[in-house]
Amino acid sequence: MATPTIYVVRHAESTHNITKDFSLRDPGLTPTGFTQASALAKTFPHLSSIAVIISSPLRRTLETTLSAFGELITKGDVKLVLDADLQERSELPCDTGRDVTELKGDFPGVDFSGLEEGWFVKEGRNKGDDESVEGRAGAVRGRLAEVVRGLEGKGEGERKDVVVVTHGVFMKFLTGDGGIDLPKAGWRDNHPRSPTLTP
């Protein structure tokens, strides 16, 4: 039996990455960002091994996820899970998500039932201070460990790997690697040379 691998993906280029207008609420991808995400669908070498994709519910991560892996999700080959704890660190409007009703209008067919009302409010566990962000990262690592345990019985050739689509700053906390700086739509695995994503 093969051990599941976790792949961390950074969202593709977003509007605020270019304009530096951080007052934009939950901005989406630029045309270049959509091209980057679509290219990921063609260049990611492990598409056939993905079983689960866990994505931040912010617009830019969802657009990256659906542009890169949407066909696998639509066909039912891959399960998509939205995890509010993967949202970006800061309390700026650009890192603040939107109500589920709005998201459903923009992303029909996506299951938002796992998101709580007010998941995007930057209070409590969603605050931008180190302690709160580390708490969210630890919670995600714990859930990832559960997902991986559920996939460990898969045999060679079966879908068993996990993709996590998140943000540049939050992934530093998630991976425990303060130096990680993936390019837009870049990815990395949890090879032993890299910090572990398990608790």
List domains and CATH numbers for the chain: 6-189 (3.40.50.1240)
Which helix (H) or strand (E) covers residue 189, if one does?
Answer: strand 187-189
Q: Please give the pLDDT value at position 6.
A: 94
Using one digit for the tens of pLDDT, what is the confidence trace for 115-153? 999 999 999 999 999 999 999 999 999 999 999 999 988
* Greater model confidence, 142 or 195: 142
pLDDT at residue 193 is higher than 50: no
Query: CA 189 to CA 113: how far, in whole Å?
Result: 28
Q: Please give the pLDDT value at position 1.
A: 59
Q: How far is CA 168 from CA 9, 11, 60, 101, 112, in A?
A: 9, 8, 12, 26, 23
Q: Please give the pLDDT value at position 63.
A: 98
Q: Which pair of tokens denotes residue 181?
A: 């700086």
Using one digit for the tens of pLDDT, what is the confidence trace for 66-107? 999 999 999 999 999 999 999 999 999 999 999 999 999 999
Query: CA 87 to CA 96: how far, in whole Å?
Result: 8
From the CB of residue 175, how many other CB atoms can be counted at a distance below 10 Å?
23
Strand order in the sheet with 187-189: 79-82, 50-55, 161-166, 6-10, 187-189
Measured at the CA of 162, the angle between CA 157 and CA 163, to 5 degrees, comes to: 125
Section 57-64 average pLDDT: 98
* Confidence band for 192, pLDDT divided at 50, 70 and 90: very low
Indicate the average pLDDT of the chain: 92
Query: CA 23 to CA 119: how far, in whole Å?
Result: 19
Query: CA 89 to CA 96: how far, in whole Å?
Result: 9
Q: Please give the pLDDT value at position 153.
A: 83
Cα first-last separation, the chain:
22
pLDDT at residue 19 is higher than 50: yes
Using one digit for the tens of pLDDT, what is the confidence trace for 148-158? 999 988 877 88
Q: What single letter denotes the amino acid at residue 27?
A: P
* Confidence band for 191, pLDDT divided at 50, 70 and 90: low
Q: Please give the pLDDT value at position 196.
A: 47
